[in-house]
């Protein structure tokens, strides 16, 4: 059963006005995979810009930690959170999520499709079918189900912004990264199609390649790598915030964080 509750602190903090530096004051932002890593830092960074963040993930402890951090670091800017403990492969719950957002706010200003799974590095012929299907379900199908659920809400915003988190793997197609690379290449096709379909609206849909980032997923992929050689997720999160501001004009493009440049997707 889908549960969506604002913490007492979140309700206290929302809405607040009068913080001129907060560029996302009173904007409603959904971040999937907000319980750790890049998504956690992105949710916190959005809240520090004054957004009310709908933070989705399975690990309640991680979401509660985020809520605490938002209460400490973002309340002054008017930032707050609603925690959504949910598995993105619970597709019926994603439908209900759209209905709940519609009922409560009537719109969604920002959607960051970040939740993802690596699925292990294995030759194509040796990937367990269940693993392949799970990677596709989380990295691709869940985002399409969220498009179905959220598109009208994003178009109800005066400046809806959607950002789908891809990977360099979508294009490099390195050996053994098969299920992950395939899921991200298909996610890029999803994003480009959605952007083309939204061209006549206020909604801008873009993709982002974070590059290698110091997270649990990267450590799983590259266990021998020194994490201190990689940028922390907070650095990438700061870039993500710039990609969902109302001032963004790109649509259907891919932003490459390592080179700090837009690529035509």
Q: 181-210: which residues touch ligand NAP (CB under 6 A)? A: 210
Residues identified as active-site: 180
Span from 20-28, 74-82, 111-119, 170-178 in contact with ligand NAP (CB under 6 A): 111-119
* Residues 29, 82: Cα–Cα separation, whole Å: 10
Coil vs helix vs strand at 264: strand
CB 118 within 8 A of CB 183: no
Specify the residue, 29 or 213, whose C-beta has the smaller distance to ligand NAP.
213
Tell me the CA distances in angstroms from 220 to 83, 129, 134, 173, one per residue in order: 26, 20, 17, 18
Tell me the CA distances in angstroms from 206 to 10, 120, 192, 242, one per residue in order: 29, 27, 8, 12
* 116 scored as a contact of ligand NAP (CB under 6 A): yes
In DSSP notation, 20-37 reads TT-TTTT-EEEEES-SSH
| Shortest distance in whole angstroms from residue 130 CB to ligand NAP | 14
* 39 scored as a contact of ligand NAP (CB under 6 A): yes
* 215 scored as a contact of ligand NAP (CB under 6 A): yes
Of 138, 147, 207, 243, which lies in the binding site for ligand NAP, with binding defined by CB under 6 A? Answer: 138
* 219 scored as a contact of ligand NAP (CB under 6 A): no
Total residues interacting with ligand NAP, rule: CB under 6 A: 28
What secondary structure letter does DSSP report for 180? H
What secondary structure letter does DSSP report for 181? H
* 178 scored as a contact of ligand NAP (CB under 6 A): no
* 59 scored as a contact of ligand NAP (CB under 6 A): yes
* 114 scored as a contact of ligand NAP (CB under 6 A): yes
CA end-to-end span of the chain:
37
Question: What is the dihedral sign for C-alpha 118, 239, 105, 158?
Answer: negative
Report the candidate in 185, 188, 204, 200 with the shortest Cα–Cα distance to residue 245.
Answer: 204
Specify the residue, 6 or 212, whose C-beta has the smaller distance to ligand NAP.
212
Specify the residue, 58 or 155, whose C-beta has the smaller distance to ligand NAP.
58
Span from 73-81, 114-122, 152-160, 191-199 in contact with ligand NAP (CB under 6 A): 114-122
* 80 scored as a contact of ligand NAP (CB under 6 A): no
* Residues 247, 244: Cα–Cα separation, whole Å: 8
| Shortest distance in whole angstroms from residue 47 CB to ligand NAP | 16
Span from 10-18, 121-129, 211-219, 245-253 in contact with ligand NAP (CB under 6 A): 211-219
* Residues 59, 73: Cα–Cα separation, whole Å: 21
Where do contacts with ligand NAP occur on this chain (CB under 6 A)? 32-33, 35-39, 57-59, 62, 87-89, 114-117, 138, 165, 167, 210, 212-213, 215-218
């Amino acid at each position: 059963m889908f549960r969506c509750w604002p913490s007492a602190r979140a309700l206290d903090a929302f809405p607040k006005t009068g913080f001129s530096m907060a560029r996302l004051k009173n904007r409603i932002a959904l971040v999937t995979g907000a319980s750790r890593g890049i998504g956690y830092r992105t949710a916190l960074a959005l809240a520090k810009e004054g957004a009310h963040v709908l933070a989705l993930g399975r690990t309640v402890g991680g979401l509660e930690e985020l809520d605490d951090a938002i209460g400490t670091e973002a309340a002054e800017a008017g930032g707050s959170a609603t925690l959504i403990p949910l598995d993105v492969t619970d597709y019926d719950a994603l439908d209900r999520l759209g209905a709940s957002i519609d009922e409560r706010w009537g719109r969604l200003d920002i959607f960051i499709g970040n939740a993802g799974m690596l699925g292990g590095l294995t030759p194509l012929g040796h990937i367990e079918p269940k693993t392949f299907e799970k990677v596709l379900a989380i990295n691709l199908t869940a985002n399409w189900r969220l498009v179905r659920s959220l598109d009208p809400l994003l178009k109800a915003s005066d400046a809806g912004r959607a950002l789908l988190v891809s990977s360099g793997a979508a294009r490099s197609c390195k050996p053994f990264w098969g299920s992950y690379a395939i899921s991200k290449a298909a996610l890029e096709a999803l994003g480009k199609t959605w952007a083309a379909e939204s061209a006549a609206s206020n909604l801008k849909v873009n993709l982002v390649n974070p590059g290698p980032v110091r997270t649990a997923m990267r450590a799983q992929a590259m266990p021998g790598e020194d994490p201190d050689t990689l940028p922390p997720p907070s650095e990438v999160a700061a870039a993500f915030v710039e990609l969902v501001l109302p001032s963004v004009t790109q649509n259907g493009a891919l932003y490459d964080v390592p080179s700090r440049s837009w690529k035509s997707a």
